[in-house]
Amino acid sequence: MPIRYPPIPSSEITEQNLYLQRRKFIRNSALGISSAMLPEIGTAARLHAAYSRYSTTEVATGYKEVTSYNNYYEFGTDKSDPADYAPSLKTRPWTISISGEVNRPRVWDIDALINTFPLEERIYRMRCVEGWSMVIPWLGFPLASLIHQAEPTGKAKYVEFTTLYDPAQMPGQRRAVLDWPYVEGLRMDEAMHSLTLLAVGLYGETLPNQNGAPVRLVVPWKYGFKSAKAIVRIRFTDQQPLTAWARSVPSEYGFYSNVNPAVDHPRWSQAKERRIGEFFKRNTLPFNGYAEQVAGLYRGMDLRKYF
């Protein structure tokens, strides 16, 4: 049964002109991001104004909704659970290990990672398999930048992402909702695509815990469950990773999880979606509206079989 929620008053959605002013301020800050605005990202981070070639022109969903209506089962299955229980998660110190089929394995400290790769702001449409969607201004860097640094070997065909496993801090992990820890994966060409981000912030601010702090995956042409949060390990492999949802419900959640209105979820249609903040539903776009950029990755594939 699709999850229902009340319409959000327009008064609670960030006005476009206010957000654009805010974005302009961030862009003009380029080499000196305010440490007050990004307390954990710091002044050494470099913000590039490259968002225009990637970003949608649609109005961004309000900050309140983006940070209070979330899927993050490590903290509970209700949409409000992440905002209620995630703030106590300790995101410092934090490390991410790079391993597997790479020439340069290493363990990154999160702040060293953030300050090594230039940050960009990109406004992406994001869609949940349950039929709701948002438009989110992410702050992050292309996953490809990290991949180039790691120097994958010729055997690397896939990239696997593993989330923190800590039931003491993540109460949802005390329940067998999924086979923990949470694991996701991408094919190498998907991971290398210029749209794929590792996000460390949103709306120009440090990424809130309930949205996946301190670093999460963002792949805008796939359903939201493909976005691994609180990442602690990135592993390169020659085998397709067995993802958390594919382990739990393989008939409902395939490895690719591309947004495809022509292929329904077994329990609901994917043809329509409701943007948070809007009353009426809109048509779901193939690849979430990014078909021009990514459809070529799947040329010749049966997208009903490889869903």
Query: Are 214 and 94 contacting, i.e. CB atoms less than 8 angstroms apart?
Result: yes
Structure confidence by residue, pLDDT tens digits, 247-292:
999 999 999 999 999 999 999 999 999 999 999 999 999 999 999 9
Pairing of strands 231-237, 47-48: unpaired
Whole-number Å distance between alpha carbons of 295 and 291: 5
**For residue 121, which of 136, 134, 142, 138 has the smallest C-alpha distance?**
138
Amino acid (1-letter code) at residue 133: S
Q: Alpha-carbon Rg of the chain, whole angstroms?
A: 18
CATH class of 10-298: alpha beta
Amino acid (1-letter code) at residue 36: A
Say how many C-beta atoms besides its own lie within 10 A of residue 293's C-beta. 15
Structure confidence by residue, pLDDT tens digits, 203-237:
999 999 999 999 999 999 999 999 999 999 999 99
Q: Which residue has the tokens 């801090």?
A: 169
What residue ranges do the domains of the chain occupy?
Answer: 10-298
Residue 23 has pLDDT above 80, yes or no: no
- pTM of the predicted structure, to 2 decimals: 0.86
**For residue 119, which of 141, 99, 136 has the smallest C-alpha distance?**
141
DSSP bridge partners of 125: 135
Say how many C-beta atoms besides its own lie within 10 A of residue 154's C-beta. 7
